[in-house]
């Protein structure tokens, strides 16, 4: 539900491979490679910032949440500001105690369901609090977005 910036990281899109953004991507890649090595060595994801706690491996969860309701967060600002792909219908209803925090995401009238979320720092050391996955079963479309506090 964000912009295509990630996919523009190629020579055909005139990506600046000496940019600050590229340096960030390289650091994230190093963190991801470290997570892979930790998994191969320990059979689990290990906290990249503090791999040990009280003399034991500081294991982290693969997912922070699996299933349940959609929740409101700063990721919904793309819905509020009407900056989402127009193939989808996205709405937010304001009110207390609404199902899915009043958030509706559909494709051709079929609802998306919240599937899972995970924090990026558990995987590669990035600062994203929640990588969020939604699924619409009729078209079999998967949407990813993120919440960054």
Tell which residue, 118, 128, 123, 129, has the closest CA to residue 38.
Answer: 123
Q: Within a 10 A sphere around the Cβ of 38, how many other Cβ atoms?
A: 18
- What is the Rg, in whole angstroms, of the alpha carbon atoms belonging to the chain? 18
CB 60 within 8 A of CB 47: yes
> Looking at residue 52, what is its pLDDT?
87
Torsion 58-128-87-77 (CA) sign: positive
Domain span at 116: 4-147
Query: What is the pTM for the complete model shown?
Result: 0.79
Rounded CA separation 4/7 (Å): 5
CB 104 within 8 A of CB 89: yes
pLDDT along the chain (149 residues), means of 10: 60 80 88 92 90 90 94 89 88 88 95 95 85 97 90
What is residue 112's DSSP assignment?
P
How many folded domains does the chain comprise? 1
Tell which residue, 82, 80, 87, 77, has the closest CA to residue 145.
Answer: 77
């Amino acid at each position: 539900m964000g912009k295509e910036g990630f996919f523009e990281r190629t020579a055909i899109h005139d990506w600046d491979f000496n940019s600050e953004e590229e340096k960030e991507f390289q650091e994230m890649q190093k963190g991801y490679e470290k997570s892979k090595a930790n998994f191969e060595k320990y059979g689990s994801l290990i906290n990249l910032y503090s791999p040990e706690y009280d003399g034991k491996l500081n294991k982290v969860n693969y997912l922070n949440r699996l299933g349940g309701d959609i929740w409101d967060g700063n990721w919904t600002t793309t819905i509020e500001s009407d900056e989402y792909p127009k193939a989808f219908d996205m709405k937010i209803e304001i009110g207390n105690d609404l199902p899915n925090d009043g958030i509706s995401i559909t494709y051709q009238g079929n609802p998306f369901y919240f599937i899972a979320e995970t924090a990026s720092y558990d995987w590669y050391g990035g600062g994203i609090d929640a990588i969020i996955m939604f699924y619409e079963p009729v078209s079999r479309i998967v949407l990813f977005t993120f919440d960054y506090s």
